Amino acid sequence: MAEEPKETLRKRLGGLEQMPSIPVALAPLLRYLEQPLESLDVQQVVDLISADKSLTAQCLHMANSPLFGRSQTTDSIRGAVLALGMQRMRDIAISCSVLQITPNGSASLDPTVFWEHSMGCALVCRRFAKRVGFKNPEKAYLAGLLHDLGILVNLWVLPKEFGAAFELARTRHIPLHEAECSTLGLTHCDSGRMLAEQWQLTPELIEIISFHHDVKNGTSDRANLALVSLSDLLCRMSGLGHGFVEERQIDFLDEPAFALLSQECPSLKAFDWARLTFELEGYVDEVHRLVALLYRPK
**Piece of the chain touching other proteins by CB under 8 A; list 40-48, 138-146, 192-200, 273-281:** 273-281
Q: Smallest distance, Å, CB 233 to other proteins? A: 8
Q: State the Cα–Cα distance between residues 117 and 101, nearest whole angstrom.
A: 16
Binding status of residue 199 toward other proteins by CB under 8 A: no
Hey, how many other C-beta atoms are within 10 angstroms of the C-beta on 6? 13
Hey, how many other C-beta atoms are within 10 angstroms of the C-beta on 237? 17
Q: Smallest distance, Å, CB 176 to other proteins? A: 15
Q: DSSP string covering 201-238, please? A: --HHHHHHHHHTT-GGG--SSHHHHHHHHHHHHHHHHT
Q: State the Cα–Cα distance between residues 228 and 246, nearest whole angstrom.
A: 18
Binding status of residue 252 toward other proteins by CB under 8 A: yes
Q: Smallest distance, Å, CB 200 to other proteins? A: 23
Binding status of residue 277 toward other proteins by CB under 8 A: yes
Site map (CB under 8 A) of other proteins, residues 3-22, x = contact: -----------------x--
Between residues 31 and 248, which has the closer beta carbon with respect to other proteins? Answer: 248
Q: State the Cα–Cα distance between residues 163 and 127, nearest whole angstrom.
A: 33
Binding status of residue 64 toward other proteins by CB under 8 A: yes
**Piece of the chain touching other proteins by CB under 8 A; list 39-47, 84-92, 218-226, 241-249:** 241-249
Q: Smallest distance, Å, CB 72 to other proteins? A: 7
Hey, how many other C-beta atoms are within 10 angstroms of the C-beta on 48? 20
Residue type, 288: H
Among 200, 98, 207, 116, CA closest to 153: 98
17-56 residues in contact with other proteins (CB under 8 A) are 20, 53-54
Binding status of residue 220 toward other proteins by CB under 8 A: no
Binding status of residue 145 toward other proteins by CB under 8 A: no
Q: Smallest distance, Å, CB 6 to other proteins? A: 30
Quote the radius of gyration of the chain (alpha carbons, Å): 19
Among 225, 228, 248, CA closest to 178: 248
Among 22, 42, 101, 113, binds other proteins (CB under 8 A): 101
Binding status of residue 135 toward other proteins by CB under 8 A: no
Burial level of 239, CB count in 10 A (0-12/13-18/19+)? middle
To 10 degrees, what angle do helices 42-50 and 77-84 make? 140
Provide φ and ψ at 251, rounded to 5°.
Answer: -110, 110
Binding status of residue 85 toward other proteins by CB under 8 A: no
Binding status of residue 231 toward other proteins by CB under 8 A: no
Binding status of residue 253 toward other proteins by CB under 8 A: yes
8-state DSSP, 51: T
Residues that bind other proteins (CB under 8 A): 20, 53-54, 57-58, 60-61, 63-66, 69-75, 99-102, 104, 234, 237-239, 245-253, 269, 272-275, 277-286, 293-298
